[in-house]
Structure 1
């Protein structure tokens, strides 16, 4: 407020100065007209006709008038220059406020303003407004590898391609980072017009870009929304296009997707789950369930794989397939996994020492350089022996940073923790991974095991993995065993362990205690009797981290 008052005061002072200058100039001109003719005629008569000289006072007045006129002209010129400079600065400030300086496209605020006007025009002309939200895939990788200068040059090239694909009358905007938006009107009965433009953009973005002497490869995820489908305002239209864009990204990238109401409902459900998950973890609503692992040679219980289950106080049971991906995307998977570990280790403190626990580690967790220290801390605090813990890592989790994974695994192995390669055969370069990390066990993915007796390829793969494990002295565990025929086949092949619903549904902490009590596999602490509660068991799914 003080700055506004100061600026207004300066403007008022400038205007006052301009008025005074103008008044002086006008007065000087009038005086010049009044005295100039008299002085000039008297002076001419003095020199040519010998008349009396001009009055000195009038001559001085004339010279003063000339000086005042020159002053007024210079002041006018200076003010004109000031006005031009100020106008140019205001125009530039307005442009910077409404335009993206890198591409020249509209910015987010200007898109909302001009988009609102286009939205109204669409309604008046019985047209529909299409809004396309475009997000570049893998742009951050290019920025990180080649620097921001190359990234900026790529964004300018992308902007040129977007502008070239648009109709003559359209809006183009850069919303920030690598996200763009485009808007235009179309005939509501011909949505193919919009789809052709979307397909053209997706196709062009997947082609290589030659930038700064480099050939760069990207793609885009594009969301499309139309104003005549339950969009009451430009804000609603932008939100719908944004939701569709994320759906395209979720569906595999390098594609476009039309918005529909199911996407919004899915997003709302996801947001509710994310919000609930933030409180569910500290409240320990996410609890461990345990899937039995059986020694195929003896038929004895060897240990358990820990699974996760959300006991929601209102919605009841929520599938891990719904909340584990959210936990990974939001970074909550670390706290969730450590909470599951802590609960599992506490529950297993009075189990028979021969029983082990297997915990899955998410690819997201393997990006944490302190992961090993966090796991060791939980082991220390709960008193659970490290040599009874087996950490399972999937092949896909090793792609991001193998060196970091080797460091984490090395720290855990030094404490006696064992390592299993999970879902073997579903990733890439499996043999290279077996050589790069000191695995103690191989786990065959259930997709091969469940079709073992029906699919010759699956049978060949399982046989090959079993032979490989035998050659490398790595025991093999088969997942997804659901009938006795498959179990017998696995035993004949040479698999060491098996797990699946053939041996029972996943058990809660209470269910495990009841099972172990029946088999006399509980060790009473300090002579205290073992308390076993009863509760119904509900199937769960593996913790993906």
Structure 2
């Protein structure tokens, strides 16, 4: 028993010594972890090895737990440190993506507004002015369509490098989206020519060839300038003004710059008002057909009418198509407008003499619609107007983009008996090719040649050549824009078949056209209208001296 008890006490002392030893290592590790030196570690170990007081077995567990916690804490600390690094890198990348254009490295639209606002304030404090330029590439879409987006992206990077190179120090550069860029910088308002010199340098450089993906590419740019010393009181108004000026430069012919002035803003407001008005005018039939007489030059009889569009605005009166047709084309409303005019004209002319034809113009934008022929045929069916009395006029320029689609549309219309005329002949660069590609029934000479036929030998030669060409191809030739008897006589001598222009009368409203036809007994089943049936005698312009012969 005594021996067993002695053995037990020995084991207890050994266990206590082990616990104390582990505790020593635990304390040493903790001390090392908190920065206590190695001398404390050696002293503690020496104490426990030289017979220090024994400890309870629970100290062993405590020691192990402490060591484990220390190791776990250290590893967790290392993991958290790595996680913080990854998160910081991700946040930095997110910030870059949120503030920078990934393709060019320029600021994006939001960032140029924020940093531009700071630059605007700093410029004012230092008695400087701030210039903001908006630059849009001309014909960039053609590059993308022809060569693909990889080449387009390479071109945008090259353009960005040139823009950055042209800017003064500390300038802000941004890509607003697509092929539109912006740049802002301070300048001395006493020397505003600095801004124009930078703009000239940019426009000149953009017109030079660019190398991208092994290709030699040609573009240009339209650039708008706004300055803070010209009543631009914030970065937002500055950006908007520069954008307005850029569109003015593009409208003026591209490959140039324009400085903002308030007349541009008024013009834009007028255009926006017209666009909004168009959206209501088309379904409400405020845009109505007018009819310009087409005359047989040999017999001087009325042959038909060309259908024109006039906007009878309730406040502004009659608006010329030169004003609203471009807006309708830009906004995509031209298709609805054209079909509305056709429907009104066909309905009005349904009971006119069968010998009278109607000619309608097709916008180049409409020839992009693969269903155009079906839409026209549908209007003809709904109004009961005979397809054989319809002539569709297509301009040469409208055939450039998609000749195959134009051939399909023309073929469908021809199958229904609709005649096709090539309008503004002589102004395109491939007239003969177009005459061979499409089955035209008539050629119309552009009025720019007709109106100068008696003053310009070149115009006379062109008109004569077109007349001879039409004769050889068995295609009647119509001359438009005739304003004097001398021009009419010259065209008759040359051999033009038909003519139209203000010499034969200004375009007529539906009411005035019906009155004219009633006078000439060219309405089926109707007598001459009473004076009360005519809205205004002013609708019918004075007829020329040849009007009696035209009555036939």
**TM-score, length basis structure 2:** 0.88
Q: Could you say which residue in structure 2 is the equivalent of 1:495?
A: 496
Structure 1 residues 530 and 25: CA distance shift in structure 2, 3 A: farther
- SS at the partner of 1:322? helix
Is the contact between residue 341 and residue 378 of structure 1 (CA under 8 Å) also seen in structure 2? yes
Which has the higher mean CA deviation after the structures are superposed, 267-276 or 500-509? 500-509
Q: Could you say which residue in structure 1 is the equivalent of 2:397?
A: 396
**Deviation of 1:518 (Å):** 0.4
**Deviation of 1:68 (Å):** 3.3
- SS at the partner of 1:89? helix
Is the contact between residue 137 and residue 180 of structure 2 (CA under 8 Å) also seen in structure 1? yes
Is the contact between residue 29 and residue 65 of structure 1 (CA under 8 Å) also seen in structure 2? no
Structure 1 residues 428 and 28: CA distance shift in structure 2, 3 A: closer
Q: Could you say which residue in structure 2 is the equivalent of 1:515?
A: 516
Q: Could you say which residue in structure 1 is the equivalent of 2:549?
A: none
Q: Could you say which residue in structure 2 is the equivalent of 1:537?
A: 539
**Deviation of 1:52 (Å):** 6.4
Which has more radius of gyration?
Answer: 2
Structure 1 residues 60 and 299: CA distance shift in structure 2, 3 A: closer
Is the contact between residue 25 and residue 72 of structure 1 (CA under 8 Å) also seen in structure 2? no
Q: Could you say which residue in structure 1 is the equivalent of 2:46?
A: 41
Is the contact between residue 31 and residue 65 of structure 1 (CA under 8 Å) also seen in structure 2? no
Is the contact between residue 304 and residue 355 of structure 1 (CA under 8 Å) also seen in structure 2? yes
- SS at the partner of 2:175? strand
- Mapped partners of 1:463, 1:478: distance in 2: 11
- SS at the partner of 2:391? strand
Q: Could you say which residue in structure 1 is the equivalent of 2:19?
A: none
Q: Check if 1:217 corresponds to 2:222.
A: no
5 Å matches for 1:148-159? 148-159=149-160
Structure 1 residues 35 and 247: CA distance shift in structure 2, 3 A: same
Structure 1 residues 197 and 28: CA distance shift in structure 2, 3 A: closer
**Deviation of 1:537 (Å):** 2.1
- Mapped partners of 2:76, 2:364: distance in 1: 72
Q: Could you say which residue in structure 1 is the equivalent of 2:253?
A: 252
Q: Could you say which residue in structure 2 is the equivalent of 1:117?
A: 118
**Deviation of 1:38 (Å):** 7.2
5 Å matches for 1:189-208? 189-208=190-209
* Alpha-carbon displacement from aligned partner over 1:209-253 (angstroms, at most 9, x marks no partner): 211122222211111111111111100000000011111111111
Q: Could you say which residue in structure 2 is the equivalent of 1:411?
A: 412
Is the contact between residue 518 and residue 528 of structure 2 (CA under 8 Å) also seen in structure 1? no
Which structure is higher in RCO with an 8 Å CA cutoff and minimum separation 6?
1
Q: Could you say which residue in structure 1 is the equivalent of 2:439?
A: 438
Q: Could you say which residue in structure 2 is the equivalent of 1:315?
A: 316
5 Å matches for 1:26-425? 39-45=44-50, 51=51, 55=55, 57=57, 61-62=62-63, 64-425=65-426
* Alpha-carbon displacement from aligned partner over 1:304-337 (angstroms, at most 9, x marks no partner): 0111100001111112111010001111111111
**Deviation of 1:64 (Å):** 4.4
* Alpha-carbon displacement from aligned partner over 1:402-448 (angstroms, at most 9, x marks no partner): 11111111111111111111111112111111111111111111111
- Mapped partners of 1:148, 1:295: distance in 2: 54
How many positions carry a matched residue from both structures?
A: 509
- Mapped partners of 1:293, 1:459: distance in 2: 21
Gaps of 5+ in 2: 1-28, 542-552
* Alpha-carbon displacement from aligned partner over 1:261-312 (angstroms, at most 9, x marks no partner): 1111110000000000011000000000001111111111000011110000
* Alpha-carbon displacement from aligned partner over 1:1-58 (angstroms, at most 9, x marks no partner): xxxxxxxxxxxxxxxxxxxxxxx9799869999996775233442xxxxx56754656
Q: Could you say which residue in structure 1 is the equivalent of 2:22?
A: none
- Mapped partners of 2:202, 2:373: distance in 1: 45
**Deviation of 1:480 (Å):** 1.2
**TM-score, length basis structure 1:** 0.89
Is the contact between residue 387 and residue 416 of structure 2 (CA under 8 Å) also seen in structure 1? yes
Structure 1 residues 270 and 25: CA distance shift in structure 2, 3 A: farther
**Deviation of 1:521 (Å):** 0.4
- Mapped partners of 1:466, 1:329: distance in 2: 35
Structure 1 residues 180 and 456: CA distance shift in structure 2, 3 A: same
Structure 1 residues 60 and 322: CA distance shift in structure 2, 3 A: same
Is the contact between residue 389 and residue 418 of structure 1 (CA under 8 Å) also seen in structure 2? yes
Is the contact between residue 36 and residue 62 of structure 1 (CA under 8 Å) also seen in structure 2? no
* Alpha-carbon displacement from aligned partner over 1:117-158 (angstroms, at most 9, x marks no partner): 011111111111111101111111222222222221221111
- SS at the partner of 2:358? strand
**Deviation of 1:534 (Å):** 3.6
Is the contact between residue 286 and residue 310 of structure 1 (CA under 8 Å) also seen in structure 2? yes
- Mapped partners of 1:225, 1:32: distance in 2: 68
